[in-house]
Structure 1
């Protein structure tokens, strides 16, 4: 049993938990990271698109805007310093219909207010960056790139251990007890006691919060994002990152094309309700997770509002032809047989009772505790900045 007056116990060995642990260790704290899986970065971090986001999409003044823009710089710097594959390619956000132009201009306004290096360009200049793209207009964003987030996590693990920190895998949290002197965390791998507790459990963060006596007014609803890769013969059609103009009423960015550091091109993701919090396929069903989601009134309110969007996303999930049709709105030259199934990821999306999806990073405080209850994209980009924010908060509650 580890203990100490400046000891933080962190649940979750994804990129946010590891970044928080490293920041606390660098400030002289002892840290213990716990994760129920047998490896780090097993869920959201290890199955995302690998994009370093710029901070373009987020409401000015929000945590996502501030931390995302700062994270685009700090994540690149961390990767370069520690030998992790990273490439700043820039990206195009492409309007293919007249109806998308107002939303594209709003993205430009947000980006400029958030300090993102972006500018509006015409179709000819867009083709200078991406010769095969179709557009009426586009935003060019210079600070967007790609990085190996699993490699980032491996570097974080090494640095945490060099600083004296501990990482315990196969250690699922089963109980959290707080008292005037510290916090006791019970797991499959033993009991750990520290002065503070940080919940970075991602897909299970609301459940861990409830174990700690918190009653958050949100619930994690899982959405699966499915990816394809372009065949080697089609990879030349994409130079960097090509995104559609997102629907401002929906929190997902739409299927896009991403050229990875290896030269492969990822396509996706879509967004469909997952039948398990770790439901990476349609065949993965967890009755407890389904009931947990179904019992939340917000899910039904969201479904009533966005049923057409949900039906479209589900159809695209079940039909490779429909998936390809979405991509061809951006790059019409994509051939019929260019898609190969790749991995899927599950987004831990916090939802309120009224059906609204939490649009910003969300964390809840309690004595000696911080619970990160919503950290979807761009959390990987902003992980080092989130770690600093949490460390600052913990300093205030010591």
Structure 2
């Protein structure tokens, strides 16, 4: 490996820009005896020169360092840290780590051919304010902080978003005490701008909405989290990181002796193996595997619990000619008896409006269609004692959710509690998402962050993010800071 780290100021011969990074675009071609400075591109060994003009335009500052791919003598790429998972949490973590440790070599390994295709790409797009979560909890803290970081990041990098606000609406008197409790919870969590309003003010904000009282959250917004995650990846690459797509990890092995041609001793002892013969070597690994986080953890000797059980949510789409019925986010008052939030109205950054979702067991971990089925995933879920206990506890609720998934008018009936003018013919079938629910063996939902390390020499070098609960997308930048702190404590980078 070599790292471009000029120690003196250099003036470009043509553009006259002064920078600590020699301008490779404008300066004369190096002679054959001089080593060409390059920055690696994503997922390949192709290389391109980077100019000081480019560095200045990206706003990355004079301390930028560019790396080449470090290769072992057998041609296997070597890194200091590999992050497994190209969703929003994995990419935010990769970006945070490379900013903190610019002298280290990082890579992201993603099993698909594109980034952010699963939970991130099927997210509702809501920027949550932090109202729902227990005061003093990590979820509350990270969400409130994360909302501010999302808006700052989007402003800095010209990512489109809207502060459309949210109404949490009580439609009958039994819901009012829970609504008022939410209001107090939000104040304790330092959520800004909250207020309680009555029927007249509800109609002013949402003319077609019916309710007797509502909680207003003006800072709740919407964004395309897929676009945001891809921007994380772009910045990670610009800072010298590499992203390997179509790298489906299926094993971790310890290398007994170093194969590096430039280092002595055991420099990169972890061999990460993927399907189709793909391999990389590294010192440390962080997994942010989402729907497969439990299986990745077991590869390094971790316990199987908590188990990830996939739940699919099916949305309806409001027809464009009926878009006037809803202006912003309209949410129900959550019922603590049930594990899911309930149907809601969600405007999207592309102008569409999603209605729903329901919540049913998915028979495939990445099964977004009603007919998607994987026998291994199904047996894994149904044989789990935790899921059976959860299903038994909420049997009636689960059957109703399944019915609403098949019968569109049943789902519309739930939505009509808030928008009475909505009719079944006003909606069409929409997209679906699959949520990774972490369940304990007693059937309880794991509502907190779970980090894990396996056994033996390999396990001590691998940190698993086994559960990053909702609202993980809103909290992604604050989660990344927490994970980076955890990595520092665990690995002493």
Taking structure 1 as the reference length, the TM-score comes to 0.96
**Are 1:61 and 2:136 matched, yes or no?**
yes
Measure, in 2, the Cα distance between the counterparts of 1:251 and 1:54. 20
Measure, in 1, the Cα distance between the counterparts of 2:108 and 2:283. 14
Alignment map for 1:10-49 (pairs within 5 Å):
10-27=83-100, 28=102, 29-49=104-124
Alignment map for 1:375-386 (pairs within 5 Å):
375-386=468-479
Measure, in 1, the Cα distance between the counterparts of 2:339 and 2:254. 35
Relative to structure 2, which stretch is displaced further, 182-191 or 291-300?
Answer: 182-191
Post-superposition offset of 1:357: 0.7
Post-superposition offset of 1:178: 5.5
| Contact 1:75-1:381 within 8 A present in 2 as well | yes
Measure, in 2, the Cα distance between the counterparts of 1:333 and 1:327. 10
3-state SS of the aligned residue for 2:443?
Answer: coil
Paired residue for 1:344?
A: 432
**Are 1:214 and 2:298 matched, yes or no?**
no
Paired residue for 1:248?
A: 336
Paired residue for 2:238?
A: 162
Paired residue for 1:323?
A: 411
Measure, in 1, the Cα distance between the counterparts of 2:170 and 2:359. 20
Measure, in 2, the Cα distance between the counterparts of 1:103 and 1:361. 26
Relative to structure 2, which stretch is displaced further, 151-160 or 183-192?
Answer: 183-192
Paired residue for 2:422?
A: 334
Post-superposition offset of 1:216: 4.1
| Contact 1:85-1:151 within 8 A present in 2 as well | no
**Are 1:392 and 2:490 matched, yes or no?**
no
* Two-structure CA RMSD over aligned residues (Å): 1.5
Alignment map for 1:56-205 (pairs within 5 Å):
56-117=131-192, 118-177=194-253, 182-188=269-275, 190-205=278-293
The one of 356, 359, 362 equivalent to 2:447 is 359
Q: Deviations over 1:274-329 (max 9, x none)?
A: 11111112211111001111121011110110011101111111110011111111
Gaps of 5+ in 2: 1-75, 256-265, 455-459
**Are 1:263 and 2:351 matched, yes or no?**
yes
| Contact 2:96-2:480 within 8 A present in 1 as well | yes
| Contact 2:312-2:432 within 8 A present in 1 as well | yes
Measure, in 2, the Cα distance between the counterparts of 1:54 and 1:79. 16
Relative to structure 2, which stretch is displaced further, 300-309 or 360-369?
Answer: 360-369
Measure, in 1, the Cα distance between the counterparts of 2:217 and 2:178. 16
Paired residue for 1:302?
A: 390
| Contact 1:276-1:286 within 8 A present in 2 as well | yes
Measure, in 2, the Cα distance between the counterparts of 1:193 and 1:268. 44
How many aligned residue pairs are there? 396
Q: Which has the higher contact order (CA 8 A, sep 6+)?
A: 1
Gaps of 5+ in 1: none
| Contact 1:178-1:368 within 8 A present in 2 as well | no
Measure, in 1, the Cα distance between the counterparts of 2:466 and 2:115. 19
Post-superposition offset of 1:184: 2.5
Measure, in 1, the Cα distance between the counterparts of 2:97 and 2:226. 21
Q: Deviations over 1:40-70 (max 9, x none)?
A: 1111000010000111111122221111111
Larger radius of gyration: 2
Measure, in 2, the Cα distance between the counterparts of 1:135 and 1:360. 32
3-state SS of the aligned residue for 1:44?
Answer: coil
Measure, in 2, the Cα distance between the counterparts of 1:360 and 1:75. 21
3-state SS of the aligned residue for 2:345?
Answer: strand
Measure, in 1, the Cα distance between the counterparts of 2:97 and 2:77. 16
3-state SS of the aligned residue for 2:316?
Answer: strand
| Contact 2:294-2:305 within 8 A present in 1 as well | no
Post-superposition offset of 1:262: 2.5
3-state SS of the aligned residue for 1:193?
Answer: strand
Post-superposition offset of 1:2: 3.0
1:244/1:207 Cα in 2 relative to 1: closer, same or farther (>3 Å)?
same
Taking structure 2 as the reference length, the TM-score comes to 0.78
